[in-house]
Chain A
Amino acid sequence: DVQMTQSPSSLSASVGDRVTITCRASQNINTYLNWYQQKPGEAPKLLIHGASNLQSGVPSRFSGSGSGTDFTLTISSLQPEDFATYCCQQTYSSFTFGQGTRLEIK
């Protein structure tokens, strides 16, 4: 199984900050990596697919990069609605998710 490890597990930041979340795969997954946003009581939302492709309708302040084993999700300027949990997913071999990064207001 491909294991996905996210860091940090939680993060405090302020509106306007630039934030980066990291996801590491236990083996090479090329660019088979997606990012999702989760808010309590809401459906998870796809942000990025194929490591760097922004899903339609997602604000351009979100971006993804990486290939192989190391990936990042960057939010260029945090907005109030961005405080949520973010998780990565690999689709190279079956499907596995990272444990999530909780982004909180400082």
Chain B
Amino acid sequence: QVTLKESGPVLMKPTETLTLTCTVSGFSLSNVRMGVTWLRQPPGKALEWLAHIFSNDRRDYSEFLKSRLTISKDTSKSQVVLTMTNVDPLDTATYYCARMPARTLVYPYYYMDVWGKGTTVTVSS
């Protein structure tokens, strides 16, 4: 069974650095067909994609946030880590990680097929 679980701080102060960890099971981060993506959803707002990483260490970031984001993985620990610098109250959200199969010539679509339940982060002074 494939599962993903997010962990991180519940409460942060503005300007701090947020570190979120996604621990996966049921698949390997070295699987060339699989990647992991981070997303967030502020209260009452739409989901927002943040970043993703694949087994070959290829990474992509939201253009809007890429100056503040770093995504990395530790295959031996089955973990994907997202750091966000200089947090602001606008970063208050539920943060999700999800598995994202790599697209292929046969099936050129990205989709997030298994999600974690999310972790809620509040930024407040």
Given known pairs A32-B109, A91-B111, the reply for A43 and B118 (CB within 8 Å) is yes
Given known pairs A94-B62, A97-B46, A100-B46, the reply for A50 and B113 (CB within 8 Å) is no
* Residue A45 interfacial (CB < 8 Å): yes
* Residue B45 interfacial (CB < 8 Å): yes
Given known pairs A41-B117, A43-B117, the reply for A91 and B110 (CB within 8 Å) is yes
A46/B49 in contact, CB under 8 A = no
CB neighbours (8 Å) of B116 from chain A are 43
CB-based A-B contact count at 8 angstroms: 59
B113/A55 in contact, CB under 8 A = yes
Nearest-CB residue, chain B, relative to A46:
B113
Given known pairs A41-B117, A94-B63, the reply for A46 and B111 (CB within 8 Å) is yes
- 7 A-B pairs (CB sep. < 8 Å): A42-B117, A46-B111, A46-B115, A87-B47, A91-B111, A95-B37, A97-B46
Task: List chain A positions with a Cβ less than 8 A from chain B.
Answer: 31-32, 34, 36, 41-46, 49-50, 53, 55, 87, 89, 91, 94-100
Top 10 closest pairs, chain A to chain B, by CB: A95-B49, A49-B111, A43-B115, A97-B47, A91-B110, A50-B109, A99-B46, A97-B46, A34-B111, A44-B115
